[in-house]
Structure 1
Amino acid sequence: MCANKITPINPADLAQPGGHYSHGTVANGFVFVSGQLPITSAGEKLVDASFSVQARQVLENVGTVLTACGSGIANLVQVRVYIDGIDNWPEFNRIYAEWAGSSQPSRAVVSTSQLHYGLKVEVEAVALQGS
Structure 2
Amino acid sequence: MGTNHRPEAVKRAPPAAQAPGHGPYSPVIEVTPGRIVVISGQAGVGPDGKTVGADIRTQARITIENCAMQLRNAGCTLADVFKVNVYMTDLNDWPAFNEVYAEMMPHPLPVRTAVETRLLRDFVVEIELWAVKP
After TM superposition, is the score higher than 0.5? yes
From 37, 44, 53, the counterpart of 2:50: 44
Matches within 5 A, 1:91-110: 91-110=96-115
- Deviation per CA, 1:33-62, whole angstroms, max 9, x where unpaired? 10001111221123x522111111100000
**Structure 2 CA distance, aligned partners of 1:42 and 1:29?**
32
1:16 alignment counterpart: none
**Structure 1 CA distance, aligned partners of 2:76 and 2:106?**
15
Letter in 2 for 1:41: P
TM-score by length of 1: 0.72
Letter in 2 for 1:50: D
Q: Report deviation, 1:101.
A: 2.9
- Deviation per CA, 1:50-82, whole angstroms, max 9, x where unpaired? 211111110000000111100111111100000
Q: Report deviation, 1:118.
A: 2.4
**Structure 2 CA distance, aligned partners of 1:109 and 1:103?**
18
Letter in 2 for 1:61: N
Q: Which protein has the larger Cα radius of gyration, Structure 1 or Structure 2?
A: 2
**Structure 2 CA distance, aligned partners of 1:52 and 1:94?**
8
1:117 alignment counterpart: 121
Matches within 5 A, 1:54-73: 54-73=59-78
TM-score by length of 2: 0.71
Letter in 2 for 1:122: E
**Structure 2 CA distance, aligned partners of 1:126 and 1:65?**
11
**RMSD between aligned residues:** 1.3
Q: Contact (CA 8 Å) 1:76, 1:103: kept in 2 or not?
A: no
Q: Report deviation, 1:104.
A: 0.8
Q: Contact (CA 8 Å) 2:40, 2:128: kept in 1 or not?
A: yes
Q: In the comparison of the two structures, how many residue pairs are matched?
A: 101
Matches within 5 A, 1:80-95: 80-95=85-100
Q: Contact (CA 8 Å) 1:32, 1:125: kept in 2 or not?
A: yes
Q: Contact (CA 8 Å) 1:83, 1:120: kept in 2 or not?
A: yes
**Structure 2 CA distance, aligned partners of 1:95 and 1:110?**
17
